[in-house]
Every structure is written in structure tokens, then in C-alpha cells.
Amino acid sequence: MVWISARDTGHVWYCSDGLAISAEMLVNILSGARDAAPARLFHHASILRSDSREAVQLSVRARAEMDGVERKRTESQRMMKDSDLKQDSGIPERVTLKKEIGLLSACAIIIGNIIGSGIFISPKGVLEHSGSVGLALVVWVLGGGVAALGSLCYAELGVTIPKSGGDYSYVTEIFGGLVGFLLLWSAVLIMYPTTLAVIALTFSNYVLQPVFPYCVPPYIATRMLSAICILFLTWVNCYSVRLATRIQDAFTVGKLLALGLIIIVGLVQIFGGNYESLTPQVAFTFNKAPSIGQIALAFLHASFAFSGWNFLNYVTEEVVDPRRNLPRAIYISIPLVTCVYTLTNIAYFSSMSPEELLSSNAVAVTFGEKLLGVFSTLMPISVALSTFGGINGYLFTSSRLCFSGAREGHLPSLLAMIHFKHCTPIPALLVCCTATIVILCIGETHNLINYVSFINYLSYGVTIAGLLYYRWKKPNLYRPIKVSLLVPVCYLLFWALLLGFSLHSEPLVCGVGLVIMLTGVPVYFLGVYWKDKPKCIYDFIEWATYLGQRVFFVVFPQIDPIEVAEWTDGSSFTSKASGPL
């Protein structure tokens, strides 16, 4: 028995599994006409009428295979009529997340999320803590190597557990609900809203810099422009997945062109003989020998510039042929970004002395002012465009995290619904937008980002440790990609070293980050684990969900049982939001 509630939104009724039925079909169902209903019709249904909001129980018996004599119209006629209905109402054939992310868009999501403001700002921190130009370049190359190790592990997890949600979905599948919820809690509450707020503030500061050339842009102006940017990109992501990915593609190309300009100018400087600081004798000259802790901090700054390498795993279900395109996108994007970052730093060092670079708050802008002359304004514009694309990428991926959490029953079920026509997770996007604007209003973004960096790296380590545990837990599970054990082991060794030095050097920051994560424990037991809540709570949740559906025109997405069978190893798949299949 499957229970389905429907909402009347005009001439078409939308069931909670996304099925669209016309008013004529509803009348035929009520009268018991078997041939009027689709072949996948349910045995029992509960239709909730919007005008009276009274549940009318109706019992309909349908056969999976109907005899040709009983059927009043042929299968082709029925399909033509259903197709006409969908075209007239603008409803897609299946109300589900659209697979519109091809290989190019997948690469753009990874590259666009990695290349934000980091490469334009982080070189200063890497050089400061490494102590020499040569060691700084080594740190950049190794930082890309570590990101590549992590991305290889995520490629295996992504094709073995092909669900949207990234770290959260994998940890929930491997370790259970509590550990997954803690990652979800910290990410939705602090991590992604804070990161989005910082990127948006960077965008507004660079856009307003030409308007306020001799002073810092006003506090209110930067906040307002940041909020407008976030609201606009939220609307874009609510309106169309295709439009959001096209924006991501375009701004990713823009970022690569800006960095390409820096690289070309740097190569011109090198061929002109300006490469003294890159010679081995000078490059590895230390004013003061760096400690292991300082080198670890240099890696942290480089890792910040590489963060975002795992974001394609958050939208796995929207990738065309994920078992093929997800690993391909990772294999293309990470080496490309590593190469671009290393060449960009070489370009910086060919044109700027270490002292000039350390005295700059925005390395790319200083680089442009020194070498580009009248075209120096291209650099702040490039940084602004880069951060604009980064905001779009973070919104696109973080909303899918909320969507996945709601689908597993860890967040309100309304967040697991998508628009019946645009097939976009509007409630999840609005939650991400609202949380980011709240963080912008609080104003303590830079303090919060220190806390979330610890949570971010903790989640990486837990997820990749889960890969090893999953190998032991389900050794016979089909894995289209199976990396060598050396890959996760090497990553975890580096991760433990980096996290250990972070705890040693910044115990307060790491402690606060851990406390933020652990505040989710009581929330989990009260909101998720406790099933026998008072009826008034369930009534309120039902009312709020109903209101949200009416306001946003959203329904639960349909899940293709064939796809589910391909995902799993034969075990039953259950969606907490939409019921068992």
C-alpha cells in the first residue's frame, strides 16, 4: 500500500511522488475507471483537496498488466494524450532533478569552485610561512598533489555511492545517521553560509574599489552589494539548472583567461631575463629556517586555495552518466588547476620581489599595477568575476546538501522537494540564501571562517577514513573505480599531520569548531532519533510543509527504480522523504 497526497494547483493535480494527473483523470479514478489511470497507478491513494482541505479516501484497484480487450484506447493513444497534457501544462515527463551536467559543466563546477579568491590572495600566506620562493613553489605543487589524492578517493566513493550530498551522503551511508547529521549540521549552520558570505564580501570589495579608490568601501555598501549578488544568483539557481551551469561555465572560462593573462605576462618577463628570484641559489635562500609548524601553516594556506575539489560529488545525481563523467572531470580538473596555480605563482615571482609580494594584500592587483599600466583595472575586475562565479558554484552545490539531508530525514521534508516545472530545489536554495544573509548581518565572518576551516578538514578525513571502512564492511560491493590503498592511506597521514599541527598551534580555534559540530548531538536526538513526538508537533510540520508546497509549487522528485537498482548492491533503497520504492 502506497499513500500519496495530492495538491490541487489549477487544472493539474500533483502527487507527492511527482505524478501529474488531470482533472478528467481524477474523475475517472473516483468512478473506478481502470483504463484512465497510468499503468504505474497506486493501489490506494489519499487525495487532499485544496478547497476544503478534507481528506477523501478512495480505493482504486489497478492491475500492472491490463488486458487489451478491457483497455478502451491503445497504449500509443494513451501516451499521446499524456504527452499533450504535459506539453500544455509545461510539466516535464518526470518531475526529478535534471541530468544537465555534462563533462564540460562538471569540469567547470570543480574548476570554478576551486578558483575563487584564493589564488589572488593566498600566495602571500604561503610565502610568509614557507620562508623562501623555492619552498613556496614546492608547497603549491604538493598542495595540488594532496588535492589529487583526496579527489581520487572521492571519485571511488562517488561512483560506488552515486548520491548527491558529497561527504554527508557517504558518511551517512557508511557510519550511520548521527555522524552524517553532525557533518550536515555544521555545514548548513556555519560552514557554507560563512564561506559564501566571505566570497560575497570579497566580490563587493573589489567591485566597489574603483568607486572608493582612496578609502575602504563603507560597511553598509559592501553588505548590501553582497546581499544583492546572493539574492540574484539564488533566483538564477531557482529558475533553471541549465542557466546556473551556463553561468558557471562562462565565469570559469573568465577565471582561466584572467590567470592566463598573468601567466603570459610572467612568461614574457622570464624570457626578458627577469628570473633572478627563481634561480635555485636565490629561490632556496632562507632568511630564517621555517619550523615544521610553519610549513604546515603554509600547506593550510595552499589548501584553502585548492578547496572545492570535492564539490562535484554534491551534485552526482545531476551529472550525465556519473560513473563515467565524474571521475573524468576530476582527472581533468585537478591537474589543470595545479598547473595553472604553479605557473601563476612563477609569474608573480618573476615580476615581484618576495618583499613586494609580502607587503601586498591582493597580489594579483599589485601585479597588475606594476606591469599592466592602463590595463591594471583588469585585475580587480577579474577577481570580482572570479568570486561571482564562486558564489554561484557554492550556492548550486550547498543547496544540494540541504536537499540530500532532507531526503534522508535529517532536515524538514520540504527541503527535499523540487519545483514541478523547473525541477530545482527552491526551498533548499532559499535556506542557503537566508543563512548566508544572516551571517552577513552578524559581521563576524572572518572569525567564523577560522572555525569552519577546522570542521572542513575534519570532514575530509572522516570521509576518506570511511572509504577504508567501507572496503572492509562491504568487500564484494561493485566498485567501478577502486583506487590503490596507498592513496587514502597517504592522504590520511598528511591529514592527521596537518590537523595535529593545527590543534597544537590554534587549540582555541579548533576547540570552538569542534564544539559547534557537537551542538548537533542533542538536535539529532530530539529532531531525528525521537520518533514519538507529540501530535501537535507533527500537525505543525504537516501544515508548514503543505504551506510551503502551495507557496513554492514544489513536490517530491520521482526516483527511477531502475536507477536505484543500479546504485545499490541488491539491498532495498528507501527514501525517507518519499517513502519506500
pLDDT tens column, 340-354 = 999 999 998 888 888
- Rounded-to-integer distance, Cα 2 and Cα 581, Å: 9
- Rounded-to-integer distance, Cα 289 and Cα 131, Å: 7
Torsion of CA 167, 173, 177, 182, to 10 degrees: -10
First to last CA, the chain: 11
Q: Alpha helices of 41-91 — where are they, by DSSP H? A: 75-89
Mean of the pLDDT values across residues 519-531?
A: 92
| Residue from 196, 112, 114, 197 nearest 385 by CA | 112
Answer left, alpha or beta for residue 321, where phi above 0 means left and psi between -120 and 50 means alpha. left
| Residue from 112, 124, 446 nearest 302 by CA | 124
CB count within 10 Å of CB 525 equals 12
User: Has residue 488 got a pLDDT over 90?
Assistant: yes
Give me the pLDDT at residue 37, please: 40
Classify strands 44-48 and 55-59 as parallel, antiparallel or unpaired.
antiparallel
pTM here is 0.74
The CA angle 459-463-467, to the nearest 5 degrees, is 165
Residue appearing with cell numbers 605557473: 343
Residue appearing with cell numbers 553560509: 193
21 by DSSP, 3-state: which?
strand
Give me the pLDDT at residue 19, please: 43
Mean of the pLDDT values across residues 555-562?
A: 70
Cβ atoms of 375 and 289 within 8 Å: the answer is no
- Rounded-to-integer distance, Cα 110 and Cα 131, Å: 30
Task: Report the chain's C-alpha Rg in angstroms.
Answer: 26
Residue 573 to residues 313, 321, 466, 559, 578: CA-CA distances in angstroms?
20, 20, 20, 11, 11
What percentage of residues in the chain have a pLDDT greater than 90? 27
Q: Where do the DSSP E strands lie in 364-463? A: 418-419
Q: Which of the residue ranges 112-121, 210-219, 415-424, 427-436 has the most confident prediction, judged by mean pLDDT?
A: 427-436
Residue-wise pLDDT for 8-66, tens only, equals 333 334 444 444 444 444 444 444 443 444 433 333 333 333 333 333 333 333 333 33
Cβ atoms of 86 and 288 within 8 Å: the answer is no
Ordered by start, the domain boundaries in the chain are 103-558
418 by DSSP, 3-state: which?
strand
Give me the pLDDT at residue 443, please: 66
- Rounded-to-integer distance, Cα 9 and Cα 23, Å: 11
Cβ atoms of 238 and 419 within 8 Å: the answer is yes
Q: What residues have CB less than 8 Å from 14, skipping those under 6 apart?
A: 6, 7, 20, 95, 420, 555
Confidence band (pLDDT; 50, 70, 90) for 448?
low
Give me the pLDDT at residue 568, please: 47
Answer left, alpha or beta for residue 288, where phi above 0 means left and psi between -120 and 50 means alpha. beta
User: Has residue 418 got a pLDDT over 50?
Assistant: yes
Residue 23 to residues 36, 419, 558: CA-CA distances in angstroms?
11, 20, 21
Determine whether 356 is exposed, middle or buried from the number of CB atoms within 10 Å of its CB (0-12, 13-18, 19+).
middle
- Rounded-to-integer distance, Cα 326 and Cα 311, Å: 11
| Proportion of the chain in helix, strand, coil states, percent, rounded to 5 | 70, 5, 25
Q: Which of the residue ranges 122-126, 178-182, 292-296 has the most confident prediction, judged by mean pLDDT?
A: 178-182
Q: What is the 3-state secondary structure (H, E, C) of 298-334?
A: HHHHHHHHHCCCCHHHHHHHHECCHHHHHHHHHHHHH
Give me the pLDDT at residue 411, please: 93
HSE toward the beta carbon, residue 545, CA cutoff 13 A: 22
Mean of the pLDDT values across residues 533-543?
A: 92
User: Has residue 118 got a pLDDT over 50?
Assistant: yes
| Residue from 488, 133, 494, 514 nearest 300 by CA | 494
Give me the pLDDT at residue 299, please: 84
8 by DSSP, 3-state: which?
strand
Residue-wise pLDDT for 138-159, tens only, equals 999 998 999 999 999 998 998 8
User: Has residue 458 got a pLDDT over 60?
Assistant: yes
Torsion of CA 291, 297, 303, 305, to 10 degrees: -120
Residue-wise pLDDT for 228-276, tens only, equals 999 999 999 999 888 998 898 888 888 888 888 889 998 998 888 887 7
The CA angle 455-459-461, to the nearest 5 degrees, is 120
Residue-wise pLDDT for 510-520, tens only, equals 888 888 889 99
At 22, which helix (H) or strand (E)?
strand 20-22
CB count within 10 Å of CB 363 equals 24
Give me the pLDDT at residue 560, please: 58
Pick the CATH number of 103-558 from 3.40.50.300, 1.10.760.10, 3.30.365.10, 1.20.1740.10: 1.20.1740.10
Handedness of CA 356, 359, 365, 366 (dihedral sign): negative
381 by DSSP, 3-state: which?
helix
- Rounded-to-integer distance, Cα 485 and Cα 501, Å: 25
Mean of the pLDDT values across residues 286-305?
A: 79
Give me the pLDDT at residue 508, please: 83
DSSP states along 491-521: HHHHHHHHHHHHHHH-HHHHHHHHHHHHTHH
Mean of the pLDDT values across residues 168-196?
A: 90
Give me the pLDDT at residue 373, please: 76
Give me the pLDDT at residue 562, please: 52
Lowest mean pLDDT among 136-140, 249-253, 426-430, 525-529: 249-253
